[in-house]
Amino acid sequence: MASIETDIRGNILVITLNRPEARNAFDRAMAQEMEAIIDRYEADPELRAAIIRAEGPTFSAGMDLKAAARGERANTPGRGGFGIFRKPPDKPLIAAVEGQALAGGMELTLCCDLVVASSSSVFGLAEVKRSLVAIGGGCFRLPRRLPYQLAMEMILTGEPKPADVMQRFGFVNSVVAPGKVMDEALRLAELIAANGPLAVRAAKVIARSSIAEGWTDEQAWDRQMKVVEPVMNSEDLKEGLRAFAEKRPAVWQGR
């Protein structure tokens, strides 16, 4: 049985971590599955948003430490750790978190653009408790998402924070009752999927690149136009303007 399952709902891809007996911890095989799924998501023009969720009471406990003790690394050559850490998709990705998102499980949420969490969920970078380092993006991505002192408290103590605290500081978009996480994640995904897919993808690339590469304002004016140019010359832009003038929903072609 696959460690990760997928389901397509309209233009939305639902990615389900399905290794609850191991707290959805990643081994090499699971990382390879994730990379293949993300590659397919990027390549399919009909898919406009994706959600990562999990079976069982834990979103993900991170790396499979038993596999790691055998010398097995949950890495792939194309997208890195967990098949996603080094190269998340250019298309939108939403985390739907129930339970614990710890260590690499939290780093998985750092690959996402939006995070929906249940009121009972917690987030933490627990690596230091096992003399490990959060090298799946945690040590450099978390200080970009949270105030420095709060990020460093999580990185250096390894202690988790509840969803309401993470929402207060902007890491979590929505906190909902347990069992309602997918409803909210799908609501957000549907809002995204209703928009022009070329424009959404370009907007994410600009936002992510500007942060990761530290663009100055002067650099950003030129660099964003290289990303936006195909959108400005697209059939979808013409359709979007026509639909606005005609007061009807746009029909996107992704070209």
- Catalytic center residues: 107, 127
Cα–Cα distance, 101 to 120 (Å, whole number): 11
Distance, in Å, from the CA atom of 82 to the CA atom of 14, rounded to the nearest integer, reads 17
Beta carbons within 8 Å of 173's beta carbon, 6+ residues apart: 114, 115, 116, 167, 188
Q: Confirm if 29 and 3 have CB atoms less than 8 A apart.
A: yes
The CA–CA distances, whole Å, from 116 to 156, 159, 162, 183, 244 equal 25, 20, 13, 10, 31
CA distance 86 to 81: 7
12 with 186: CB under 8 angstroms?
yes
Place of tokens 């898919």: 47
Cα–chain-centroid distance for residue 191?
16
In the chain, DSSP assigns E strands to 4-9, 12-17, 49-54, 75-76, 80-81, 93-97, 100-102, 114-118, 122-124, 161-162, 174-176
For the chain, what is the radius of gyration of the CA atoms?
Answer: 19
